[in-house]
Amino acid sequence: MAGNKSSISKKASYKEIGEFWDSHDLTEFSENGEEVEFSVDLKSNVHYYALEDSLSSKLHTVARKRGVSTETLVNLWLQEKLLETSTR
């Protein structure tokens, strides 16, 4: 690979960079950095809806089988249903 990928490790490949950081800590290089200021404005709107216990349990079971959170499954299914409804 041409050029350095990492200015601190001076390694050229991602594998070498990974090996370097496996045995080093960023605090060892604090003199190489410069202080910066930034702000992060994370806003998330969360809405809660009541579900029947049996429905919630079934959702949880399906989500676990699919390897996603219950919230993700509910959001995906609602998006699909809304898309299906809006195209009618």
63 touches 69 (CB < 8 A): yes
Instruction: Give the mean pLDDT of the chain.
Output: 86
Q: Where are the chain's structural domains? A: 1-32, 53-86
- How confident is the model over 16-36, as pLDDT tens digits? 888 998 998 888 877 767 778
The pLDDT of residue 10 = 83
Tokens 């960023």 found at = 26
Mean pLDDT on 61-86: 95
